[in-house]
Structure formats: C-alpha cells, structure tokens
Amino acid sequence: MNSPAHQPPQIARANGIDICYESFGDAGAEPMLLIMGLGAQMILWDDEFCRELAGRGFRVIRFDNRDIGKSSHLSGGKRLTPLELLKLRFLKIPVQAPYKLRDMAEDTTGLMDALGIKSAHLVGASMGGMIAQEVAISFPNRVRSLTSIMSTTGNPKVPPPTREAAAMLMAPPPTTREEYLKRFAQTWKVLRVGSFPLDEAKDLERAERTFARGLNPNGVGRQLRAILASGSRKERLHAVKAPTLVIHGTVDPLVSPEGGKDTAASIHGARLLMIEGMGHALPIPMWPQIIDAIDKHAHGAAAKAA
C-alpha cells in the first residue's frame, strides 16, 4: 500500500534521457539515492527495504539506470563475445562501448538536478556501487556520503567471478516469459549462495513484476560493456573525500569479496563491513544489519557536516 510519503514512479529528463524514479519518505528529509546494478531494475531495491530506510529519516529515491526498466533504452553495441573478454584480460585490449560509467554518473547527477537536490547520500549495489564511486570521484560536491555495496574498483587484480556466476552472466537471454521466470529463480539461487526461504518465496512475484515492466537484453549488454570499458577507478578513488562505507558479503560469487576490500583500501578513511554468509544479493534476513549500517553511516556523515 502506498503511504502519503510514497510517491509513485515518475519520469525526469536528465542528461538528455528519460529516467524513471520513485521516492519514499518525507520530501524534506536527507536525500538518499539508491543505484542498482547490472541489468537490475530499481524495484530490486525492495519496496519494504526502501520504506525501512525512509523510516530512519531519509528521502529515499530509487531509479532505473539507462537501458533498463522504464528509463530510456539506447542503441548500438553488439552482444559481448568471450573473445573480447579474453583480449581484455590477457592483452589489455579495451572493450568498445556506446557509453561508460561516467555517463551513468552524469545520469545520477542529472536526476539530482531535475529534483532540485544539490547533494545526497549515495548507496550503490554492484554496478550501482561503481556508478556511485564515479560520482564521488567526478562530482565530489554532490555526495554527502558514499555506501558501496558488493562492488569493486575495476582493478584487474581482483579475482574474477566464480565459473558458475560468470556462465550465468554470459548466458543467452531468455526469450519467453516462462523461461524468464525460471531463469530469475535460478540466477538468484546462484547469487544468494545458500538457502533463503523468505526471498525464495518472493522470487516469483519479483520476477513477474520485473517482466511486466519490460526487459531490455541489449541494454544489459551495453551496461556490461560500460563497466568493462571504464577500466580501473583504484587510483582515482584515493582522492575521494566523502565519508565512505563499503559493505560486502563473504561468499559473493559475482564480485569477489576482495573487490570490497580493495574499494575500502582505496578510499581514505573508508569503513569496511563484511557480512558473513552474504552472496551477491541483499537477502531479507540481512536487511537489519545492512539498513542499520547505512543509517548510522549517513546520519553520522550528516552530523559531522553540520
């Protein structure tokens, strides 16, 4: 049920594209932008997760990145090939991409401009963490605090995904609704690592909602290219002054736990929170720990800035 403080999805014109966003909480509260990961619509920031954060005194804004959900779908860029990945890994030949993470960072600041937000707390998951890092590097005055979850610096020395997670990432996209619903459950089983009955019970509803909002497999391919074409942020992260919290699961199969450790080591004063038994997901039983950490970090940063 929508509460008065929950605004339904709207479209903002930002950085030359349309961005679909939704907000929870008091319009006058501290703004917090939630940035989702590769191929993930904004609704993967679960409604209840957003409401709980809003209940801690934040104006929580989630949005669809470019090329996903109800935001603008772009064009260009062929499906990534294993040969390109091998060239990148062994010969350091960069992947070609229609846009990079810097463009997606400008989408984020463009949305803030459209909403009249000068600066915000940024919380990014996976690719969203990379985008949030890029905003903190390139537009430091827009960031009140940075929380990078299950993400990495782009440092090629960080171990790659597990074979199972990599195979899932490179698998051809499903072509029918039934295939998509089945793939969704399989994907999250791999990413969550282990049994999470509360989440498994919601998988079908989450998959149906995602499918109903519209899929864009070519867009996911372009997002992946953007990550690979953007290279390492490790050296540039040394300049980040925003108070930073890094959250990572100890059993993440997609972005190695070393990716979180590398992020925290690259940003002066960053705090690292490793969550035991967490994979590449935000499972419901771990919400209290994650939400508490984000809340304390953002409010602590706000108190220091006051």
Report the pLDDT value the prediction gives residue 4, as an integer from 0 to 100.
52
Mean pLDDT along residues 90-101: 82
Q: pLDDT tens digits for 166-221?
A: 888 888 889 899 999 999 999 999 999 999 999 999 999 999 999 999 999 999 98
CB 193 within 8 A of CB 164: no
Give dist(CA 279, CA 248) in Å, integer. 8
Is 205 domain-assigned?
yes
Give dist(CA 243, CA 121) in Å, integer. 10
CB 256 within 8 A of CB 160: yes
Is 297 domain-assigned?
yes
**Greater confidence, 89 or 267?**
267
Residue 91 has pLDDT above 70, yes or no: no
Residue whose structure tokens are 């990716």: 259
pTM for this entry = 0.95
Is 151 domain-assigned?
yes
**Residues, the chain:** 306
Is 148 domain-assigned?
yes
Residue 296 CB: number of other CB atoms within 10 A? 13
Q: pLDDT tens digits for 40-58?
A: 999 999 999 999 999 999 9
Q: What is the CATH number of the domain that holds 115?
A: 3.40.50.1820
Is 296 domain-assigned?
yes
Domain span holding position 296: 6-305
* Contact residues for 289 (Cβ-Cβ < 8 A; gap 6+): 275
Q: pLDDT tens digits for 130-148?
A: 999 999 999 999 999 999 9
* Contact residues for 235 (Cβ-Cβ < 8 A; gap 6+): none
Positive/negative CA dihedral, 218, 219, 221, 226:
positive
Among candidates 237, 178, 228, which has minimal Cα distance to 208? Answer: 178
Is 1 domain-assigned?
no
Is 222 domain-assigned?
yes
Is 83 domain-assigned?
yes
Q: pLDDT tens digits for 257-296?
A: 999 999 999 999 999 999 999 999 999 999 999 999 999 9
Beta bridge partners of 146: 122, 244
Residue 88 has pLDDT above 70, yes or no: no
Among candidates 286, 219, 183, 249, which has minimal Cα distance to 69? Answer: 219
What is the number of structural domains in the chain? 1
Among candidates 91, 111, 84, 97, which has minimal Cα distance to 15? Answer: 111
- β-bridge pairing 120-125 and 30-35: parallel
Residue 1 has pLDDT above 50, yes or no: no
Beta bridge partners of 32: 60, 121
Rounded percentage of the chain residues whose pLDDT exceeds 70: 95
